[in-house]
Amino acid sequence: MSVKPIVLLGDPRLRLKGEPVDSFGKYLHELLDDLTDTMRHAPGVGLAAPQLGVALQACVVEVEGQLHELVNPTIVRSSGDDRDLEGCLSIPGYAAYVTRRERIWVVAQNRLGRRIKVAGVGYLARAMQHEIDHLHGKLYIDYLASLDELISVGASEESAEEQPEGAELPTLVG
Cβ closest to Zn ion, residue 120 vs residue 174:
174
Task: Give min distance, CB of 13 to Zn ion, in A.
Answer: 13
Spatial separation of the C-alpha atoms in residues 169 and 174, rounded to whole Å = 14
Cβ closest to Zn ion, residue 18 vs residue 174:
174
Q: C-alpha distances in angstroms, 165 versus 62, 83, 122?
A: 27, 15, 21
Burial 107-131 (b: 16+ CB within 10 A, else e): ebbebeeeeeebebeebbbbbbbbb
Contact stretch for Zn ion (CB under 5 A) within 8-16, 62-70, 84-92, 116-124: 84-92
Spatial separation of the C-alpha atoms in residues 121 and 108, rounded to whole Å = 17
Residue 88, interface with Zn ion (CB under 5 A)? yes
Task: Give min distance, CB of 127 to Zn ion, in A.
Answer: 10
Spatial separation of the C-alpha atoms in residues 161 and 150, rounded to whole Å = 16
- Looking at the DSSP bridge assignments, the partners of residue 117 are 107
- Looking at the DSSP bridge assignments, the partners of residue 105 are 77, 119
Set 102, 131, 149, 165: catalytic member: 131
Give phi and psi for 90, each to the nearest 5. Answer: -90, -5
Residue 21, interface with Zn ion (CB under 5 A)? no
Contact stretch for Zn ion (CB under 5 A) within 15-23, 59-67, 82-90, 92-100: 82-90
131 carries an active-site annotation:
yes
Task: Give min distance, CB of 14 to Zn ion, in A.
Answer: 9
Cβ closest to Zn ion, residue 70 vs residue 88:
88
Nearest position to Zn ion, beta carbon: 88
Cβ closest to Zn ion, residue 103 vs residue 138:
138
Number of residues that bind Zn ion (CB under 5 A): 2
What residues between 135 and 174 interact with Zn ion by CB under 5 A? Answer: 174
The burial class, CB within 10 Å (0-12 / 13-18 / 19+), for 44 is buried
Q: Which residues lie near Zn ion (CB under 5 A)?
A: 88, 174
Give the active site residues.
131
